[in-house]
Amino acid sequence: MKEIRLAARPTGWPTAANFEIAETEVPKPGDGQVLIRNLFMSVDPYMRGRMNDTKSYVAPFPVGAPLDGGAIGEVVASNVDDLPVGAVVAHGYGWREYAAVDAARVRVVDPAAAPTLSAYLGVLGLTGLTAYVGLLDIAQFREGDTVFVSGAAGAVGSVAGQIARLRGAKRVIGSAGSAEKARHLTEDLGFDVALNYRDAPIRDQLRAAAPDGIDVYFDNVGGDHLEAAIDTLNKFGRVALCGAIAQYNEAAPPAAPRNLALSIGKELNLRGFIVGNHSHRMSDFVAEVGGWLRSGQLSARETVVDGLVNAPEAFLGLLRGENTGKMIVRL
């Protein structure tokens, strides 16, 4: 089988040279394990941090070993009574064609309950749960709030903005990096305003789009977007710090938002979160978001790249912002 390994740690922006395509024996499942043939895998921005040898909330990828990440696959051999051959499961061992996985580390999914199997990596997986928890639990969204979402055409941001709309936001504003993505936000996803951050400084655009301020900011970008949000947030505004993709590839630490002191007088709540600590919300999330998805009230676009060998380029494209919605690799 083929697998993708980390060949070397990047400095700044990663390149194809940081990855190695290797062949190895298909593993045999041990006691309490299943062998899974992967069908789809996910590439996500957080994986960039794991390429560095730095302390974080998740261990770095070892050099010379296969990378890992979310995947959907079919059980092709099983040593577990309640996980038969043919079951479709979600697990965390992507970047390879086959994986032998402990039964406790897989989640059985229903292929008939989603528009595509890959939805369990995106809108109905941890990506969607991140949007749901970040908006409702971390940012404590309330009906009538004005909400700003950065990176809004990406996998998490696109769902967060739609949840805000469906939950009764007064106004939903999103930022994206092209005119095409901005049109997607307003025409397909129901955002009230879309800002192309390449057109003008995001602070100026946000002030114009929200003359009465914003109540909630869902941050996927950091940097100038976070600074603009702090400037525009109303008293007692809430921020869900989900990601900071603007600085993931910087070789030097970025300066903090220059206006951070405004958070004191405005009594803002800026809170980071890791979705893995909120798995207890999965059933509520699937029930609510799954219902919107089936009824057509919520849309989830995917950018699909074919072939495991193209996974590194899909990941690099994600960092360059080439995806709309969830970036998926189809094996």
Q: For the chain, give the mean pLDDT.
A: 95
pLDDT tens digits for range 75-124: 999 999 999 999 999 999 999 999 999 999 999 999 988 889 999 999 99
- pLDDT, residue 195, reads 98
pLDDT tens-digit readout, 14-52:
999 999 999 999 999 999 999 999 999 999 999 999 999
Domains of the chain plus CATH, in order, are 2-122+300-330 (3.90.180.10), 126-276 (3.40.50.720)
DSSP strands (E only) in 150-232:
171-176, 193-196, 214-219
Average pLDDT over residues 283-308: 94
CA 162/CA 218 separation, integer angstroms: 12
Report the C-alpha gap between 47 and 302 in whole angstroms: 18
Do residues 108 and 82 make contact, with C-beta atoms less than 8 angstroms apart?
A: no
Write out the E strands in the chain.
2-6, 19-23, 33-42, 71-78, 88-91, 98-102, 107-108, 146-149, 171-176, 193-196, 214-219, 233-241, 269-272, 302-306, 326-330
> Could you give the dihedral angle defined by the CA atoms of residues 37, 40, 44 and 47, in that order, rounded to the nearest 10 degrees?
20
